[in-house]
Amino acid sequence: MADTISEAEAANRLMRLAKEIARHDKLYHDQDAPEISDADYDALVRENRELEERFPQLVRADSPSKRLGAAPTTALAKVTHARPMLSLENAFSDEEVYEFVARVRRFLNLPPEAPVTLTAEPKIDGLSCSLRYEGGRLVLGATRGDGTTGEDVTANVRTIEDAERYALNGPIASYEQHGFGLYLVVLQETGEAIGVCGLVKREAFADADIGYAFLPDYWGKGYAIEATAATKSYAFEQLGQRRLLAIVNPENESSIRLLKKLGLGFTRMVRMSDDAPEICLYSSDRLA
C-alpha cells in the first residue's frame, strides 16, 4: 500500500475492496466457485484492514472486517447461534508474527524479551461446525456462517456420524472379533486410495467371504484381481482359514470371471434373507 495515498483515494479503494471481497465470499461460500487463490483473497482482506487502521474514520458499514466468515448460503436453512462463533486471524509476514508474540507477552505480563514457547502445526482447511445434542442425540448442526447466523447442516453431520458408526460397528468390530475385515487398497506409487478389499464374516455362513469394491476410475485395470488374490493368500497362509467363500449377483459377469480366476468354484444358489433374491455362492478350500 502506498504511503502517499490520500483520504479520498483510500475511501474509493475501501469501497472497491468491500464490493470485491463480498463478491469473492459469495463465489466461495455460496456457489463453490472461487476465482482467486486463498493467498490472493487474504491479501485483499489484509489491504482492507491496513487501510482501515490508517483511516479509521473511513471504516464502512459493509466493511469485510466487521464480518466473521461469510453470509449463510441461500441454499440452506438459516440458524442463529446461541453464542457467536469466532474466527482465527492470519499472519503473513515475520513482522505480524513478532507482533502476535508481543501481544502474548503483554497479555501474560511478561518482559519484552521473555521467551515464549509456541506450538505450530499445518492448517487443515475445513468446515467449522456447531453441534447441539439433547439427551445424547444430535438435534442441530450449523456452520459458522458470519459468526451470528450459519447454515443448518444437520443432515450432513448425521451422514458423517452414520459413516463413523459403520466404521466402528463394521470393519473395526470385525478386526476385534475375527482378526480380519475390509482393508484400504492404495496405489503403491502414490498412496492414493482406490478401493477396499478384505474378508467379511456373515452370520449366514460358517466361513469368511471375500469382498471388494473399487472406485469407477480403477475398474477393469487389474487392481481387483491383484487385491483379491493377495487377500486369498493372506486368508489361507496367514490366518489359517480352511475355506473361503464369495457371494455374487448372477448377472455380475465380471465378478464371476474374477472369482473363477481366483480358483473359486460355484457351490449353490443362496438367499441372504427370506425376501431377498437368490445369489451365487462360490467357494475354495485351502489345499492340504
DSSP 146: T
Catalytic annotation on 261?
Answer: no
Separation CA 264–CA 266 (nearest Å):
7
Q: If you compute the radius of gyration of the chain from its CA atoms, what whole number of angstroms results?
A: 29
The one-letter amino acid code at 181 reads G
Contact 248, 223 (CB under 8 A): no
- Residue 236: how many CB atoms within 10 A of its CB? 17
d(CA 181, CA 174): 5
* Catalytic residue chosen out of the listed positions 66, 78, 123, 232: 123
The CA-based angle 159-170-254, given to 5 degrees, is: 90
C-alpha cell at 115: 521467551
Residue 252's identity, in one-letter code, is N
Exposure class string for 243-268: b at 16+ Cβ within 10 A, else e: ebbbbbeeeeeebbebbeebebeeee
CA distance 11 to 119: 39
The residues facing 80 across adjacent strands are: 149
φ/ψ of residue 135, rounded to 5: 60, 30
Angle at which helices 7-25 and 38-54 pack, to 10 degrees? 150
CB 202 within 8 A of CB 179: no
Which residues are catalytic, by number?
123
